[in-house]
Amino acid sequence: MVSSELVISQAEHKSRIEKIRDQLKKSRCAALYLTNPTRILYATGFSHISTERPLALVIPQEGAIFMMGPHLEEDHVKQDCALIEEFFSYPDYPGITHPILHFVNVLTRKGLAGSKIATDYVDGAAGGWGYRGPSLRDLLHQAMIVDGKDLVDTLRLVKSRQEIHLLRESARWAEKAHDILMENIAPGEHDALIGLKASYKALTEMMKKLGARYRQLKWGLSPVVVGCRGQVGPGSAVPHAVFSKRRIRRGDVLVTEAGVEVGGYTCELERTMIVGKPRPREKKYFETMLRVQDAALGAFMPGVACSQVDAIARKTVEAAGLAGALRHHVGHGIGIDGHEPPWLDPGEKTVMRPGMVFSCEPGLYVPGLAGFRHSDTVMITKDGMEFITEYPRSLEDLTV
């Protein structure tokens, strides 16, 4: 059943925890110790801002789920996550007594100090923002600390009905945001300002429409982000550009992107656009890019290795004599993270299954001229694939 509120339901989180506990039993681990904010969010629905302050979620094979973290998160946990039954706080980092020493004391009191513990980070803390501290593995001499990332990450590969629902809602508003962006693109404008205007207007419409059903779970100034991110004119040939000094000009190629977070999930929608009448060279690259994406999309099928999708796209580029213009793999898994396994890459042997969700984004980049990339979010079905993002892809539709 899909929750009326646009988040993953508590029932689904309980199901995920039971699956984790089943895996703990099979691997004979007493507990799973998580530090990564995305894995904690996936397992429990609790979202927090990860800083230098250590925080860890512990899911024991049996007994109460508990969290160890800074005092500033204690009320947050009690307010937002009933599945976390106990919270053990320390004052702050670095503290007179280092937080990891507090964690060792809690694990000892819980009878886990001599156990086999699976974890996603053996040092015991996510380690961001200049964090320094002793390793949990070095302090728990009697415990066996083993890699447990896959206990969560394997569950994330195939999306549930609720996850697909959130991704479709994300796509709906990403498409709206992109429409608003297109309406505001004009020569003489700066892409960053156009993006902010479009993001604000789309967010205003989304909040008005969804009302109390909407909840933002990922840290960001806005859950709606649409724009060019510096991919303007020659700058569009840099796949991960950040900012453009120049304003938009007639004849420019733009690579746009729209992402909207809904209940922690974000689709990916990117388009190549041309301001004014396309010249023959730009038209050639655009049409080749579209053929390559079509070839990749046609390869999505249960039972197909991810590497095969990438290979088919690469052969299409090579056949056009443009092999040097392809600068990255064809796509990646997507869901609660913008990029997550598996990858559409020559080195990825994962076989596609129904319910897996990917971006499909082969790009062609010509230094000094422009970049050409569409990105769509697609789901693997029992017969092939289905678009989650449904947005025009033709040059005619994307000429401003």
State the burial class of residue 74 (Cβ atoms within 10 Å of its Cβ: 0-12, 13-18, 19+). middle
> How far is CA 9 from each of CA 44, 45, 166, rounded to the nearest angstrom?
10, 8, 11
Q: Which two tokens stand for residue 220?
A: 């960001």
**Assigned domain for 4 exists:** no
Query: Cis peptide leading into 341, omega within 30 of 0?
Result: no
DSSP 9-51: -HHHHHHHHHHHHHHHHHTT-SEEEE--HHHHHHHH-------
Say which CATH number the domain at 140 has. 3.40.350.10
Domain final residue pick, 154, 174, 194: 154
Cα–Cα dist 167/388, whole Å: 7
Residues 222 and 255 in one domain: yes
Residues 150 and 230 in one domain: no
Q: Please give the pLDDT value at position 5.
A: 87
| pLDDT tens-place values along the chain, 400 residues long | 444 789 999 999 999 999 999 999 999 999 999 999 999 999 999 999 999 999 999 999 999 999 999 999 999 999 999 999 999 999 999 999 999 999 999 999 999 999 999 999 999 999 888 999 999 999 998 999 999 999 999 999 999 999 999 999 999 999 999 999 999 999 999 999 999 999 999 999 999 999 999 999 988 878 999 999 999 999 999 999 999 999 999 999 999 999 999 999 999 999 999 999 999 999 999 999 999 999 999 999 999 999 999 999 999 999 999 989 999 999 999 999 999 999 999 999 999 999 999 999 999 999 999 999 999 999 999 999 999 999 999 999 999 9
Instruction: Give the range of the structural domain holding residue 38, as residue numbers without chain letter.
Output: 10-154
- The model's pLDDT over 358-397, given as tens digits with 9 standing for 90+, comes to 999 999 999 999 999 999 999 999 999 999 999 999 999 9
**Assigned domain for 356 exists:** yes
Residues 184 and 329 in one domain: yes
Residues 289 and 351 in one domain: yes
Residue 129, SS3 per DSSP: coil
Question: How many independent structural domains does the chain possess?
Answer: 2
The strands making up 331-333's β-sheet, listed across from edge to edge, are: 340-344, 331-333, 357-360, 376-380, 385-387
Residues 202 and 326 in one domain: yes
Q: Which of 55, 39, 46 is nearest to 150 (CA)?
A: 39
Residues 167 and 115 in one domain: no
| Residue type for position 335 | G
Say which CATH number the domain at 275 has. 3.90.230.10
Would you give the DSSP letter of residue 324?
Answer: G
Domain final residue pick, 127, 154, 181: 154
